[in-house]
């Protein structure tokens, strides 16, 4: 048999499999309807396990594992498509739908919270997004979360990840213990400068102060000049500290911070990699659905990283959404169990996004909807 003949036979088989798949989906709809009429739960783990076990027994030895994976996927697809016909809304989905239907508008002149002191990168990001807003500075990341949660400010700006240093762990940790919604993201090019009091020469500088990530992003420069790294709460506060010290210290900060605190720029663009970007999130106490949003932020814990992650990705594939971010953080137990932060494409004003969020919140006990924003 030549290649074309074999392929013709494969195509015929594929057509038959597709026909059977469609028939199966019709029957599954019947099951869903029966369950709805009789108030039975949609998912039936035992029944799934029985099917997989039987398939494993019936399959030839060499194809057993493959057949099991195929039927797990088949049942996952069934469940996703059933979700589209059954409206079994979770409390999270109901609250989300209420927000969507009430069309809340964000405040026209928001009060914006930023961490650090004036001139910090987060301050610059806040200014970029809200040029005319009143910006209030708070000492720590946690203070920004607290102010947003307490309703003291309309929104808060926080750094979330850098293209070189990775995610900002402290912000992720604070996300777990606060209630908020992400409504925007901001991307800023980071151009680190080595700054000192006027008259200081580079060769006199012994210690350099900055935020952890600033130090990490300039590690090659710091190493080449044999400087001692000193961690500071943020880059602009480091500039302020250096401006007040009488020792020949330097700060790694933005050109704006140098100007703000009367420092001289000794070297510009000292980051290891020139293309250095930081992304920031804008959080609020309320969700403001926006037709321009294109990314849904969520967090979830998975009992078993393999199977569960695979099943989750099946849902995304069936819904046709793209996973734009996957980030795992330890929960903090002996087994190194993790919490996943997953961002995917979607807008809560679309029914399909609501269905997917509902599906996830129904199936995963640790699921949390964190917001909807335009990826920038």
Catalytic residues: 278, 280
Nearer residue to its own copies within complex by CB, 22 or 108: 22
Give whichever of 48 and 152 is closer to its own copies, judged by the CB atom.
48
The H-assigned helical ranges of the chain are 3-37, 45-58, 64-83, 91-102, 121-129, 141-149, 169-176, 212-217, 219-224, 235-244, 255-260, 305-319, 351-363
Q: Would you tell me the crossing angle of helices 141-149 and 169-176 to the nearest 10 degrees?
A: 30
Alpha-carbon distance of 358 to 348, in angstroms, equals 11
Residue environment code for 10-24, b if the CB has 16+ CB neighbours within 10 A, otherwise e: eeeeeeeeeeeeeee
Shortest distance in whole angstroms from residue 216 CB to its own copies: 7
Taking the complex as a whole, the smallest distance from the CB of residue 2 to its own copies amounts, in Å, to: 7
Count CA atoms within 13 Å of residue 151 on its CB side: 1
CB nearer its own copies, residue 86 or residue 135: 86
Sign of CA dihedral 209, 215, 221, 222: positive
Q: Of 62 and 108, which has the nearer Cβ to its own copies?
A: 62
Instruction: Tell me the three state secondary structure of residue 365.
Output: coil
């Amino acid at each position: 048999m030549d290649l074309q003949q074999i392929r013709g036979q494969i195509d015929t088989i594929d057509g038959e499999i597709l026909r059977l798949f469609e028939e199966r989906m019709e029957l599954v709809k019947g099951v869903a309807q029966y369950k709805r009429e009789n108030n039975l739960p949609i998912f039936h783990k035992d029944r799934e396990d029985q099917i997989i076990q039987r398939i494993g027994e019936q399959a030839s030895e060499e194809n057993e594992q493959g057949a099991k994976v195929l039927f797990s996927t088949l049942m996952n697809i069934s469940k996703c498509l059933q979700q589209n016909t059954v409206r079994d809304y979770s409390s999270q989905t109901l609250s989300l739908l209420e927000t969507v239907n009430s069309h809340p508008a964000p405040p026209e002149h928001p009060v914006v919270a930023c961490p650090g002191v004036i001139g910090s990168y987060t301050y610059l990001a806040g200014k970029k997004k809200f040029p005319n807003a009143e910006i209030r500075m708070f000492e720590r990341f946690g203070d920004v979360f607290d102010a947003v949660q307490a309703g003291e400010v309309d929104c808060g700006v926080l750094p979330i990840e850098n293209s070189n240093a990775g995610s900002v762990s402290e912000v992720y940790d604070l996300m777990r213990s606060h209630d908020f919604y992400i409504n925007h993201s901001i991307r800023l090019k980071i151009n680190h400068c080595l700054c000192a009091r006027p008259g200081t020469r580079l060769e006199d500088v012994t210690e350099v102060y900055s935020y952890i990530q600033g130090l990490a992003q300039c590690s090659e420069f710091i190493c080449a000049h044999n400087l001692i790294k000193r961690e500071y709460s943020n880059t602009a506060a480091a500039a302020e500290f250096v401006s007040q010290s009488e020792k020949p210290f330097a700060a790694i900060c933005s050109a704006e911070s140098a100007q703000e605190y009367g420092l001289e720029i000794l070297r510009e663009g000292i980051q290891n990699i020139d293309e250095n970007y930081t992304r920031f999130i804008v959080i609020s106490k309320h969700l403001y659905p926006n037709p321009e949003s294109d990314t849904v932020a969520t967090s979830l814990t998975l009992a078993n990283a393999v199977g569960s992650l695979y099943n989750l990705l099946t849902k995304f594939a069936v819904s046709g959404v793209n996973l734009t971010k996957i980030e795992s953080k330890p929960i903090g137990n002996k087994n190194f169990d993790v919490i996943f932060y997953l961002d995917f494409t979607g807008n809560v004003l679309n029914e399909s996004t609501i269905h997917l969020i509902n599906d996830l919140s129904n199936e995963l006990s640790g699921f949390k909807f964190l917001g909807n924003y335009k990826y920038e």
